[in-house]
Structure 1
């Protein structure tokens, strides 16, 4: 066995161990309404938070598909854990910080967890050498386990959010994540009062990177949509697996088993085909953009549009597959503790994200027809 094969086996063993831990603790995440720091530590061990850290700072240099498939696997185990893990992609955002700042960020190693609550943007007071930051920001997923936190303090180049990076001790987490779906993401509000942030600890989200590595050339806003969309591919797989595993059980009413009913077989096959088709498109678009970067051609507007389109389609197809599984499961699925309850609630939350809503189809259609898309789409 080669060294490479041994490393692959070790990585697979570690992934399976982490996935088992996530499955065993997903009720805990939901009850606590966040993924605890000791679980974040295991995600760090798995390499989630160093996957896209620049190699010059000890990162692993994974391709987008490699990272996305890890998030998909974690999301199959638990949607909230997958959502929190997906913010390992934020290192692509952080590459817009100055090199000297990045050296400080990764001074103790590449396993740095970043979380942000960028909106609503709160204009900060400009002072000599930086900004005085005040305000409250929403939807800071994973904030309770983060090593660094970002908040939106204005607009930068191209109207994109200017982001201030802060230490956890400078931020108050307002625990108000009272939702039905994605409960374990801990997407609480962030509150900051009179904190000075130096200029070199701010960056424009989606701005030009200071590091010249391939992953830094990948469209960061499109990628932010992808890492969330892939969560629904994992949640949908879990939902369809749940139906398949229970289809052979006897009905409490004496009716034929689910597997013996033609409409169940037809519905599960259609859901499987829809999910696999969306997944294939998703990774096809991802790999096409990455291959273009690796060849030195960058990513075209058309390719970026396809990334956005594939992300929203994966989100919708995943949600539809979960809904189909729920409909097939019958009355057993209405109970609080049934796995499909969580899958259904989680999948519908993903569809509501601003990067993944119905307007993304309009943006992609605009690019296809040569019409200027909405601002920020490309």
Structure 2
């Protein structure tokens, strides 16, 4: 446990409010700012607290164990620190070197950009931008308009160049938020749709994911982004599942549940511990390889993906198996175990944690 019971209780006193009102209170955001949890992958010289991936994953897990909304917000917000290496240092300083700095955005290329003098004119709509109500910068991917809007990448002849996709860093005043996040879990994460309407973005606030411009010495920026994201989200799932199991056990004991239910609780607690151990062993191994070799092998990337999806599946199964055994009390939306179950199912619905094998 990385946080004391006092810290846990101080955040959890807002959990019901966050779930019902679908927003993050100032007190919880201040906790994140004070701990610099949005800055786990931001260089120290930009007021960050650069953190190794295994340690950061444990922090994501610990925050998610406190509250699912907290864990998700911290994980998504911290991930934006990756962009510090993709921008020029002066731009990164402008974006990150402040107490409340945090990025919200989307990796889906659901926008278009047109080249103009000094930059681009960008328009688009991007869904699921967690942290949209308190972000200080917004990022999104857009397809560069080649002048032939009717041509789609899938229609290009064999050997033709695919459409160019570029990322853009918007200022908050350039973005309109459509408050459409109505999911049944992680309700307070403000994962709304962001909209840009023909806004100008200068060249120095655009970037490519395969082109590092600064801070090359920081190891985290050499970790491949896909397994990095899977590790981060899997840690969230493990943390929420731990909270769910604790709440389920407390409810079962209070109800005097039969031995079968208690046995299932113990069984799935063991499954989760085993999955957690395997997950962190794999993450630690990959981090050592990165430090020693400067990159991850294809085999190691695959192992991290497998361990992350496996851990998330184990976490989700805890909820799916045990929730129906807990009775009508658990069905009440304002119960702790209900909130945990909904947050767990929502987190594990992320495309990077799904497996159809």
Task: Decide: shared fold, TM above 0.5.
Answer: yes
Q: Is 2:20 the counterpart of 1:65?
A: no
Classify the secondary structure of the residue corresponding to 1:34: coil
Q: Distance in 1 between matches of 2:21 and 2:313?
A: 28
Q: Against the structure 1 CA distance between its residues 356 and 102, is the aligned structure 2 distance closer, same or farther, given a 3 Å change threshold? A: same
Match of 2:281 in 1: 284
Classify the secondary structure of the residue corresponding to 2:108: coil
Q: Distance in 1 between matches of 2:224 and 2:208?
A: 14
Q: Distance in 2 between matches of 1:59 and 1:26?
A: 27
Pairing partner for 1:95 from 66, 78, 85:
85
Contact 2:115 / 2:121 at 8 angstroms: preserved in 1? Answer: yes
Q: Distance in 2 between matches of 1:235 and 1:356?
A: 14
Deviation by residue 1:251-288 (Cα, 9 ceiling, x = unmatched): 4xxxxx22xx3322331222012111211122112111
Classify the secondary structure of the residue corresponding to 2:39: coil
Q: Against the structure 1 CA distance between its residues 53 and 26, is the aligned structure 2 distance closer, same or farther, given a 3 Å change threshold? A: same
Q: Is 2:317 the counterpart of 1:312?
A: no
Q: Offset at 1:85?
A: 0.8
- The structure whose RCO (Cα within 8 Å, separation 6+) is larger is 2
Deviation by residue 1:96-129 (Cα, 9 ceiling, x = unmatched): 22233213223x4465211113435211111122
> Which shows bigger deviation, 239-248 or 15-24?
15-24
Pairing partner for 2:327 from 330, 338, 353:
330
Q: Is 2:176 the counterpart of 1:186?
A: no
Classify the secondary structure of the residue corresponding to 2:281: helix
Contact 2:23 / 2:189 at 8 angstroms: preserved in 1? Answer: yes
Q: Is 2:71 the counterpart of 1:82?
A: yes
Pairing partner for 2:171 from 148, 167, 170:
167
Q: Distance in 1 between matches of 2:213 and 2:348?
A: 29
TM-score (norm 1): 0.82
Q: Offset at 1:17?
A: 5.2
The 5-angstrom pairing of residues 10-49 of structure 1 reads 18-49=7-38
Consecutive unaligned residues of structure 1, counting only runs of 5 or more, are 1-10, 252-256, 362-378
The 5-angstrom pairing of residues 1-16 of structure 1 reads none
Consecutive unaligned residues of structure 2, counting only runs of 5 or more, are 145-160
Pairing partner for 2:247 from 236, 242, 265:
242
Contact 2:109 / 2:165 at 8 angstroms: preserved in 1? Answer: no
Match of 1:6 in 2: none
Contact 2:2 / 2:62 at 8 angstroms: preserved in 1? Answer: no
Contact 1:140 / 1:188 at 8 angstroms: preserved in 2? Answer: yes
Classify the secondary structure of the residue corresponding to 2:16: helix
Q: Against the structure 1 CA distance between its residues 36 and 281, is the aligned structure 2 distance closer, same or farther, given a 3 Å change threshold? A: same
Q: Is 2:214 the counterpart of 1:214?
A: no
Deviation by residue 1:231-270 (Cα, 9 ceiling, x = unmatched): 1111110111112223333x4xxxxx22xx3322331222
Q: Distance in 1 between matches of 2:308 and 2:162?
A: 23
Q: Is 2:235 the counterpart of 1:230?
A: yes
Classify the secondary structure of the residue corresponding to 1:280: helix
Q: Distance in 2 between matches of 1:221 and 1:289?
A: 13
Q: Against the structure 1 CA distance between its residues 158 and 74, is the aligned structure 2 distance closer, same or farther, given a 3 Å change threshold? A: farther
Match of 1:154 in 2: 143
